[in-house]
Chain A
Amino acid sequence: DAKTTQPPSMDCAEGRAANLPCNHSTISGNEYVYWYRQIHSQGPQYIIHGLKNNETNEMASLIITEDRKSSTLILPHATLRDTAVYYCIAGYNNNDMRFGAGTRLTVKP
Chain B
Amino acid sequence: SQTIHQWPATLVQPVGSPLSLECTVEGTSNPNLYWYRQAAGRGLQLLFYSVGIGQISSEVPQNLSASRPQDRQFILSSKKLLLSDSGFYLCAWSRWASTNVLTFGAGSRLTVL
Contact = CB atoms under 8 A, between A and B. Distances in A.
A95 B105 contact: no
A62 to B, nearest CB: 13
* Chain B interface, >50% SS class: strand
B90 A97 contact: no
Interface of B: 32, 34, 36, 42-44, 46, 49, 51, 57, 59, 88, 90, 92, 94, 97-107, 109
A101 interface: yes
A43 B100 contact: no
A95 B36 contact: no
Size range of the interface on A? Answer: 20 to 34
Nearest to B6: A43
Contacts of A99: 36, 43-44, 46
A66 interface: no
B38 to A, nearest CB: 8
B45 to A, nearest CB: 8
Nearest to A98: B46
- Greatest chain B CB density within 10 A among A43, A46, A98, A100 is at A43
A108 to B, nearest CB: 21
Contacts of A36: 102
Nearest to B96: A93
A46 B43 contact: no
A49 interface: yes
A44 B44 contact: yes
A51 to B, nearest CB: 8
